[in-house]
Each structure stands twice: as C-alpha cells, then as structure tokens.
Amino acid sequence: MDARLVISPQPLLRRVMTHPRLTATIHGWLLLLPAMALLALFTHWPAVATFIDSFYSTPRPRRPSRFVGLDNYQQILADPVFWQSLWNNLLFALGTIPVSIALALLMAVWVNDRIVGRTAVRMAYFTPTVLPMIAVANIWLFFYTPQYGLLEQITALFGAEPRNWLGSKDTALFAVTLVAIWKEAGFFMIFYLAALQSISPSLAEAAALEGASRWTFFRRVQFPLLMPTTLFVLVNAVINAFRMVDHIVVMTRGGPDNATSLLLFYIYQVGFNFWDTTYAAALTTVLLVLLALVALLQYGWLERRIHYR
C-alpha cells in the first residue's frame, strides 16, 4: 500500500485541540457534563416516566398494569377533591406570594439603613428561615391550640370568644397561609438585601442633591433596579406555593373536610395513602403543566419590565 494514502489522525486531532475557541467549548461541555447527567437522571427522566405512567392503570396483586389512555385525566375532571385542592392552592398562592414578597422587600429596605441593632433585626427576620418546616408547624400548633394556645390567650384579653383556628373551615386555610408567610418572608429578604447593597451609593447621593424624597428614590431608582431579583423571588415563591406539603401534614392533614388540602398534599394522599400511583402520576403531570404555564407567563410578561445592569 502506498504510504501517501495512509492518513494519520494525529495531525488533525492536534489541530482540533490547539484551536482555542473549540478547546474552550469542549472544556465547558465537559465541566457541565456531570451536572447535566445528574439533572437528567434525577429530574428529567422521573418527569418523563411520570408522564408515561399516567396513561396506565395502577398494578394490583392479581391485575397487572395496562394501558388506559386518558382515563386517569378524565377521572381528574370528575374528581371534586382535585378541584377543591386546586382552588385551595390558588387561594394559598394568592395569600402567600404577594404578601411574603412585599414583607421581604419592606424588611430589606429597613434593615439596609443604619438603624440601631441592625444586626439583631436581620437575625430576627432570618431566624424562621433556618428552622425546619416541621418545627415551625409544631410551634404554630401551640399558637393555634384552642383555649390554651398563645393566640387564644391574646384574643381572650380583648374579650373574644374561643375559636378553633385549625378546626374551622372558615379559618383553617388562612391559618396555614400565615405560617407559610412567616417562614418565607425572611428568606426572600436576604435576596433583596443583597441586591440593595449592590446598588451604587452614588445614586442615593445624586437623588439627595436633586431633593428627591426617600419614596421617590425607591420608586424611581431602587425598585426598577430590583426587578431582576423580584423575578427570581417571584419564581421561587410560586414554586414554594405549589410544593408546600410538610406543614399541612403536621397541622391539619388537609382537613377539616379538605379545607386545607393543597395539590401536592392530595398527590401525596393518592399515591401513598390510597396507593393509586398512576392516578397520582396524572395529577403530578397536571401540576407540572400548570407550573410551566405560570413560568411562561412570568418570563413573558415580567421580564419586559426588567432593567439589567
């Protein structure tokens, strides 16, 4: 064989590896590969497997799983507990998201100023965040205990009648919503505080020279610059509102009469208490689709109002 016809791969490989842009791209993908593999293994594949399982029936000891098509989704449309849980979750989200974000922003603006005991105030605001939700739920169980709880002792001083806050359909959802706000506001405050500290002090000095009030400076300068943080916080707040389940398990278990049953708690009940795994998979798919639609709305509407620096 003519030696000139033999093509050695080494010069080609050497030229590829010495190309700076291509080398940087290869190195970047190699660095991302472990994280991408873990993400695909523990996030993407379970989501795809859940979607596939939602088209099958739950296997029983003498009845293997079989393809049922859209039967599970038709069952969802006729399930009154699902609609009750969805409505409860929407009310829970409308109660926790705007209030916790507004409180977080207010607390961040306050502790960002030079106030007396600023470190202690920051620590007090952030303390609920580091507590496990199970511990938080048990603390608030003591507050809500009928006749003996802290809340009952305070309202009794004003002559109010004793009330079972977690045992009444009128107040149970409000009670668990208040717990979530207390837990999350301090967590969101940290992001706003970091964003406020990254704003140049020269902007405040220029506003002061122009005679702008603190409210005008916040509305015209600080708040627009905080919009990227607001988008990040809003996305996390929406996710938290639809994945909240642990304090519901501890405090009410969805009662009374499904008054505090949220979507994820209902999925937990269907999957682990009733052992209907494929119906739970269909409910999970519906929840993921709802969250995806909300995320598209957030990024499509709010991102247009964001000023990146």
> Looking at residue 189, which CATH number applies to its domain?
1.10.3720.10
Are residues 94 and 43 part of one domain?
Answer: no
Q: Convert the pLDDT of each residue in 60-79 to its tens digit.
A: 888 888 999 999 999 999 99
The reply to whether 63 falls in a domain is no
Report the pLDDT value the prediction gives residue 1, as an integer from 0 to 100. Answer: 46
Q: Enter the pTM of the model.
A: 0.84
Are residues 28 and 171 part of one domain?
Answer: no
The reply to whether 65 falls in a domain is no
Question: Cis before residue 201, ω within 30 degrees of 0?
Answer: no
Are residues 275 and 237 part of one domain?
Answer: yes
The reply to whether 72 falls in a domain is no
Query: pLDDT band at 18, cuts 50/70/90?
Result: low
The reply to whether 73 falls in a domain is no
Q: Convert the pLDDT of each residue in 212-241 to its tens digit.
A: 888 888 888 888 889 889 888 998 999 899
Which range of residues forms the domain containing residue 34? 3-53
Q: Measured on CA atoms in the order 77, 80, 84, 85, is the torsion positive or negative?
A: negative
Are residues 112 and 168 part of one domain?
Answer: yes
**Given a cut of 50, is residue 169 above it in pLDDT?**
yes
Are residues 85 and 44 part of one domain?
Answer: no
Domain count, the chain: 2
Are residues 258 and 160 part of one domain?
Answer: yes
Are residues 47 and 85 part of one domain?
Answer: no
Are residues 174 and 43 part of one domain?
Answer: no
Are residues 291 and 145 part of one domain?
Answer: yes
The reply to whether 59 falls in a domain is no
